[in-house]
Structure 1
Amino acid sequence: MPARDRSKGGAKRRYGDRLVLDAILFVVRSGCQWRMIPHDLLPWDAAYRWYRAWIADGTWDRVHDALRDQVRAGLGRDVDPSAAVIDAQSIKSSEGGQARGFDAGKRTTGRKRHIVVDTLGLLLVVVVTAASVQDRPGGKVVLSLLAQRFSSIALVWADGGYANQIDRSLIGWARQKLGLLLQIVKRTDDVKGFQVLPRRWVVERTFGWLVRNRRLARDYERLTLHSETMIKIAMIRLMTHRLTGQQIRWSNHNQRQAVRRLTAETLITA
């Protein structure tokens, strides 16, 4: 987190950055309302105030990008990726709020998350729009941001929704305007049901990582900027676990009950 300037005066902070961060991560992971933050952490308005302040000064972006670079370097990868995968996910949203629409294909009223990830599934760019925005118009926005921020990327994999046999304008636009090779990975028509597709499964896995955070299982934010920030915070949480050598285990009910019984037996025999 950025160092605080004490020269401006004012009262001493009552809550440290670690406590504020724990409260914000609690909201993302549990999906609770801000006002339902446990009292043993800190008042909800203090957590929300710092959450918004770190959005305004770009702290979340800097922390996210620094952690992504560390994860890539730790795995022996170049910090600057050379290839990426793009996809979009329609998600239901709460009533009201900015940019809310209807996705006729998915029959979903809410918003759409357009993301680009590297070959490890780490987030590079995210843009949240209304669900009514189609993949190709949304793809132009997110690819433009990708080209601005990552000049090292030359190849992007995508699914058939970004360019079909009739309209392949997005492929030509990406090549001419951005210098990106957009390669379409199509599924086999004669195979029914779920099918693991080369390269595309990476971004699908990232969506799976995101929705396991209850705050992201549905879009509860009033502003699309806050929706994008919540996605980055979820990835920050995941990357910090990786860097510290910890694993996020998504256990089921039976596994939790077994651990509790084992713990109880240990306490009794001790």
Structure 2
Amino acid sequence: MCVCTCKPAYDSSVTDGQWAVIEPLLPRTNPSLGGRPAVHSRRLIIDTISYVLASGCAWRLVPHDLAPWNTAYQVFSAWTADGTWDRIHDVLRDRVRDRDGRDPQPSAAVLDSQSVKTSEGGEEIGYDAGKRIRGRKRHLLVDTLGLLLVGIVHSASVQDRAGARRVLSGIRRRFPVLGLVWVDGGYVNSVDAGLVSWARRWENLEVVAVPRHADVKGFQVLPRRWVVERTFGWLTRCRRLARDYERKTDHAEAMIKFAMIRLMAARLAGEDLEPQGPIETEAARRLADEHQD
């Protein structure tokens, strides 16, 4: 049987430039299906996963001119389990940082969480009483460009300080020069400074809170913290990430990595996948002001 190499013209499909960035980093073959040779090309598999991510549809509802849903899902699951998405993501992040004149090893980062509703069930479902959301939390640590360093998905019932410890535990082994992490004021308060002392003692990190202005109501664009808010904006414009549809937390984390892979591949290909909205406009203005300073 011949291998399908056709590329459907969906907006979510990778371009030739993006594929040139991603293709050398993929395993040379798809995970075997009971010992049989692969029938569908790796590019068609990536396009199918991209369609699910961008459209938010169920796996079983992908169009018939893409790869069969069960084949795409099996590849996505296998490459999640063997760390393929992690490896590709980390290589592309280092390339983007290098292209922007940054050291691949970041020295500062921003940490925050996002509570999202889940679908019918799955692992680690809980209730976030503060946000009044039943589902999961995405805890992200990003660099000053908004690129993902660590992403952990856990129950929404886990307190932010406990979730932060999960993210920061062992962080210096992966990022040896990382020394400063900005967080929301909710992570640190006068009653409990445990996260600050724990990070300083065990991870040799300085955790600095960026407090909100008490006299300002509603959404605020805060110094440094707008970076991670913009990253959440990038992610949730992928409909699959507007809520958490995954039954497994490792698949939820992999979808986040895959979304960042698409965005970084577009940047490296000289294309623009970033949405343009109020958050991005304000972020661009603040970034320009910081460069002038």
Q: Deviations over 1:28-84 (max 9, x none)?
A: 111011111111111111101111111121110000001101111111111111100
Q: Which residue matches 2:158?
A: 133
SS at 1:114 equivalent: strand
SS at 1:110 equivalent: strand
Separation in 2, partners of 1:172, 1:48: 43
Separation in 2, partners of 1:107, 1:94: 16
Residue 129 of structure 1, CA deviation: 0.7
The answer to whether 1:180 aligns with 2:205 is yes
Q: Which residue matches 1:224?
A: 249
Q: Deviations over 1:140-185 (max 9, x none)?
A: 0101143332112000000111111111111000000100000111
Amino acid at match of 2:209: I
SS at 2:202 equivalent: helix
Separation in 2, partners of 1:78, 1:181: 20
Residue 19 of structure 1, CA deviation: 0.8
Amino acid at match of 1:61: D
Deviates more, 1:239-248 or 1:110-119: 239-248
Q: Which residue matches 2:114?
A: 89
Q: Percent identity?
A: 59
Q: Which residue matches 1:265?
A: none
SS at 1:78 equivalent: coil
Separation in 1, partners of 2:69, 2:63: 8
On the 8 A contact 1:124/1:146 being kept in 2, the answer is no
SS at 1:199 equivalent: coil
Q: Which residue matches 1:34?
A: 59
Separation in 2, partners of 1:71, 1:141: 26
The answer to whether 1:13 aligns with 2:38 is yes
1:204 to 219, 225, 229: 229
Separation in 2, partners of 1:251, 1:204: 14
Q: Which residue matches 2:149?
A: 124
| TM-score calculated relative to the size of structure 1 | 0.89
The answer to whether 1:78 aligns with 2:72 is no
On the 8 A contact 1:125/1:145 being kept in 2, the answer is no
Separation in 1, partners of 2:249, 2:233: 20
| TM-score calculated relative to the size of structure 2 | 0.82
Amino acid at match of 1:227: A
Q: Residues 154 and 250 of structure 1: is their aligned pair in 2 closer, same or farther, counting only changes over 3 Å? A: closer
Residue 3 of structure 1, CA deviation: 2.4
Q: Which residue matches 1:214?
A: 239
Q: Which residue matches 1:257?
A: none
Separation in 2, partners of 1:40, 1:127: 33
Separation in 2, partners of 1:203, 1:71: 17
Which one has a bigger Cα radius of gyration?
1
The answer to whether 1:191 aligns with 2:216 is yes
The answer to whether 1:104 aligns with 2:109 is no
On the 8 A contact 2:170/2:203 being kept in 1, the answer is no
On the 8 A contact 1:86/1:157 being kept in 2, the answer is yes
**Structure 2 residue ranges without an equivalent (≥5):** 1-25, 278-293
Separation in 1, partners of 2:182, 2:261: 24
Residue 115 of structure 1, CA deviation: 0.7
1:244 to 269, 275, 282: 269
Separation in 1, partners of 2:35, 2:248: 30
Amino acid at match of 2:254: T
Residue 250 of structure 1, CA deviation: 4.4
Q: Which residue matches 2:4?
A: none
**Structure 1 residue ranges without an equivalent (≥5):** 253-270
